[in-house]
């Protein structure tokens, strides 16, 4: 049996503190060090978790050079994910990274190269919607052919990200990266994993718009079209600048049925679908027991209703990564296995700037030239 997984944790903000809570509830993992630049916040989080304040360190290298640490857990600002994960992998550490995995294309390439060169290392990018009950059910329904051949799929990410207080760094292009990495990639991940058993993405066309309400340095509004090799099309409206609530609208259509999720509609009316194979071609609402009968989903089924990621499946993603290390298994959300999602993000930036379609898999040489300009 594996000894306790020893973790070096980076970032004790809102999301980081919640993930630390989830780790501390497990008996097979422990936090050996916390790197948090805000000393008072770091101490407070450690105290609240019943951990010693002596775990707080002031130099990230103290984690990298600690031979007792097995895994590095990154919940730092976006621009640090690339350099910190690369240093950790070069030191032989497993890596959990909040999304995006990198804000520099060269860092992204290095992450992929390091994982391929070190197959024993386990990596993870936190596309947390992967663990939502609705998304799990949707993936299985598509895989089971409930909707036939998918021809069109739309998933939105419209949510004004929090820039209050110490989160003002999200306005900076240098620190934030781009709007796709700030949240729109959640929607892209849903599209790609829903389609994974049917088709592969082959091209991206995107447009973007400068901020209209708040002072983002990077363009916070994107419209992304994804072409698949079976002729299907995916579409994502992304906007982190403004909105009225959280819009994670799903609309999937196939040759045998369709599926709609509306995040702002009251439960049990959020979800409806029809299928020639399972519902006799009639629309049903699976969260409404009276409407859907034997096809009703369990009442504890989660749905992505809010931008408050703490309400999402944080415990599931934490457990998933730890279990991947314990069981020596690669996560479907590893740097390499989620590479397509990141490449769609890079391709969308290129497409929007060049006003042309960009093919997938991404031509790394072409992308490196573009992102150096």
Q: Does domain 129-308 have CATH number 1.20.1600.10?
A: no
pLDDT tens by residue, 9-36: 999 998 999 999 999 999 999 999 999 9
Domain ranges of the chain: 5-128+311-334, 129-308
Hey, what are 52's tokens? 């010693």
What is the widest separation between alpha-carbon atoms in the chain? 63
pLDDT tens by residue, 189-208: 999 999 999 999 999 999 99
pLDDT tens by residue, 243-278: 998 999 999 999 999 999 999 999 999 999 999 999
Residues 6 or more apart in contact with residue 4 via CB below 8 angstroms: 27, 28, 29, 30
pLDDT tens by residue, 76-118: 999 999 999 999 999 999 999 999 999 999 999 999 999 999 9
Hey, what are 331's tokens? 């996560």
Q: Whole-prediction pTM value?
A: 0.96
Q: Which residues pair with 34 in a beta bridge?
A: 9, 56
pLDDT-derived band at 306 (thresholds 50, 70, 90) equals confident
Please report, rounded to a whole number, the percentage of residues in the chain having pLDDT higher than 90: 94
Hey, what are 299's tokens? 């009442």
* Burial annotation 172-188 (CB, 10 A radius, 16+ → b, else e): beeebbbbbbbbbbbbb
- Asked if 8 and 73 touch (Cβ cutoff 8 Å), the reply is yes
pLDDT-derived band at 310 (thresholds 50, 70, 90) equals low
Give me the pLDDT at residue 307, please: 66
Hey, what are 205's tokens? 């066309």
Architecture of domain 5-128+311-334: 3-Layer(aba) Sandwich (3.40)
Rounded Cα distance, 317 and 287, in Å = 24
Give me the pLDDT at residue 3, please: 87
CB count in 10 Å sphere of residue 291? 16
Please calculate the CA angle 241-247-252 and round it to the nearest 5 degrees. 130
pLDDT-derived band at 225 (thresholds 50, 70, 90) equals very high
CB count in 10 Å sphere of residue 336? 16
Q: Which residues pair with 152 in a beta bridge?
A: 233, 253
361 cis-preceded (ω within 30 degrees of 0): yes
pLDDT at residue 1 above 70?
no
Summarize the confidence of residues 327-353 as an average pLDDT: 98
pLDDT-derived band at 148 (thresholds 50, 70, 90) equals very high
């Amino acid at each position: 049996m594996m000894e306790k997984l020893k973790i070096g944790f980076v970032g004790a903000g809102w999301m980081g503190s919640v993930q630390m809570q989830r780790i501390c509830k497990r008996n097979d993992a422990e936090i050996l060090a916390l790197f948090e630049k805000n000393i008072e916040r770091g101490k407070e989080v450690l105290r609240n978790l019943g951990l010693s304040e002596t775990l707080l360190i002031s130099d990230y290298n103290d984690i990298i050079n600690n031979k007792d640490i097995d895994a590095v857990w990154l919940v730092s600002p976006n621009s640090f994910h690339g350099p910190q994960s690369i240093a950790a992998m070069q030191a032989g550490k497993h890596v959990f990274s909040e999304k995006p995995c990198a804000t520099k294309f060269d860092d992204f390439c290095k992450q992929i190269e390091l994982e391929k060169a070190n197959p024993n290392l386990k990596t993870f990018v936190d596309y947390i919607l992967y663990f939502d009950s609705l998304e799990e059910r949707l993936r299985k329904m598509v895989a089971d052919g409930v909707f036939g051949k998918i021809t069109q799929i739309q998933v939105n990410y419209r949510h004004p990200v929090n820039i209050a207080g110490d989160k003002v760094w999200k306005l900076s292009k240098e620190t934030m990266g781009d709007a796709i990495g700030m949240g729109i990639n959640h929607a892209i991940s849903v599209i790609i994993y829903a389609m994974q058993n049917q088709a592969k993405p082959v091209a991206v066309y995107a447009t973007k718009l400068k901020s209209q309400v708040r002072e983002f340095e990077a363009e916070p509004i994107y419209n992304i079209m994804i072409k698949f090799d079976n002729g299907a099309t995916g579409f994502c409206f992304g906007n982190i600048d403004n909105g009225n609530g959280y819009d994670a609208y799903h609309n999937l259509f196939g040759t045998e049925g369709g599926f709609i999720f509306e995040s702002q509609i009251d439960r049990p009316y959020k979800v409806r679908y029809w299928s020639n194979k399972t519902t006799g071609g009639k629309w049903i609402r699976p969260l409404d027991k009276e409407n859907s009968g034997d096809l009703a989903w369990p009442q504890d089924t989660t749905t992505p209703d809010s931008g408050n990621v703490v309400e999402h499946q944080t415990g599931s993603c934490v457990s998933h990564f730890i279990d991947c290390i314990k069981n020596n298994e690669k996560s479907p959300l590893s740097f390499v296995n989620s590479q397509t999602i990141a490449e769609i993000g890079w391709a969308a930036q290129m497409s929007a700037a060049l006003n042309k379609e960009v093919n997938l898999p991404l031509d790394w040489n072409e992308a490196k030239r573009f992102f150096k300009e």
